[in-house]
Amino acid sequence: MANLQSNLAGIKSPNPFWLASAPPTNSGYQVLRAFDAGWGGAVWKTLGTPIVNVTSRFAALDYKQNKIIGLNNIELITDRPLEENLQEIRECKAKYPDRAIIGSLMEVPERGPWHELVKRVQAAGVDGFELNFGCPHGMSERGMGAAVGQHPDIVEMITAWVVEAAEVPVIVKLTPNITDVRATARAAKRGGAHAISMINTINSLIGVDIETWNPIPHVDGKSSHGGYCGPAVKPIALNMVNECARDSEVGIPISGIGGVSTWQDAVEFFLLGATNVQVCTAVMHHGFRIVEDMIDGLSNYMDSRGIGALDGLIGQAQNKITTWENLNLNYQIVAEIDQEKCIHCSKCYIACEDAAHQCIDRVLVDDVAMLKVDQNHCVGCNLCMMVCPVEDCIEMVQVANGLPPESWKQRSSTVTA
């Protein structure tokens, strides 16, 4: 069977599935339940000076029959005393010495308080630290969280402070609420970080109740921007992970976060450059036992491909992502409709006619109405295949046009010459 053991910058765990710093890691009781279920590690809910949380705190974006495709929260860091958390960390580590326990930290941007917090948490036996430079709400208004993570110079400075006092690996958790995440990733590397994790939650407002006009969620009729996560953010997270994985100035391991719900999601993160993954929203939706399917699914997938260890997955597709100017302009695909599977709903026709390139025609064949692709004009945009409700009814096939690969960069240089 495939070996799922994970090693993120020296932090080892029996599998690459960690719980992200969030409500599911708020207490020792929860972390022990998670480890009982099989999770390889847990990033403890962020430690610092305890705060007072509000009610209500969570709101979800549902789409038709799909619940919680996105989750918004205005919950802050731990509201429990530091020593209480540290005692529970000791207990969890004693019972599960093979699991990774990471201390997520947040503190005012002063060297002394950071050193003190690091030393106290380190004494509890954590395997590493994760610096929360990403929380976009509440804490950012106090000069912490994303207020730090949006400034590369401050990221570098605080990371260096932590590395001075830390005897275990330091992970920097990056905010996506920035123009170019590589800037802060590079800063974390310069500060001495051993790894980065991404993405933290995205600034958002989930919605407004159009009957009461109250924001959702609301606290006595008012609300605040919150952090957005869940399956809907996965494409954003994948892009940012890959941007950093391909950047030679970053060059440190990545813990992938953002919409991981299944083993298939995890594989995508691995292929694009992540060393392990962290999960939050899926656990809040379905509970700790989802890790059983994640472990079995990943193991079976690796076995089926003859991949013995995670290194055989990590980064294998990361360099298939490039800039648009390098894409082959002569690669051509067109749509083909399987007439035996077609139910004549006309969704493909309407989508192509109204929102794409008018390449699908309604025709009569032996007095039977059919939908046919004009392949001489089809641009291969994929829209018809995407809207078709019948699996494998529309296929995108490559056209053998005999043209050699040519990118926009190559074509432009030829024209200029």
Which residues carry out catalysis?
135
Of 85, 20, 29, which Cα lies nearest the Cα of 283? Answer: 20
Tokens of 407: 């990118």
Is 198 exposed, middle or buried, given 0-12, 13-18 or 19+ CB atoms closer than 10 A?
buried
Of 272, 285, 179, which Cα lies nearest the Cα of 229? Answer: 285
Helix (H, G, I), strand (E, B) or coil at 363: strand
Tokens of 207: 């919605």
Give the list of residues 6+ apart from residue 267 with CB closer than 8 angstroms, or none: 298, 301, 313
Q: 347 forms bridges with which residues in the sheet?
A: none
Percentages (nearest 5) of helix, strand, coil residues in the chain: 35, 25, 40
Of 44, 68, 46, which Cα lies nearest the Cα of 58? Answer: 68
Of 77, 4, 13, which Cα lies nearest the Cα of 307? Answer: 4
**Calpha distance 389→368 (Å, rounded):** 21
Q: Pairing relation of β-strands 333-337 and 360-365?
A: unpaired
Show the CA angle centred on residue 44, arms to residues 43 and 48, nearest 5°: 125
Helix (H, G, I), strand (E, B) or coil at 407: strand
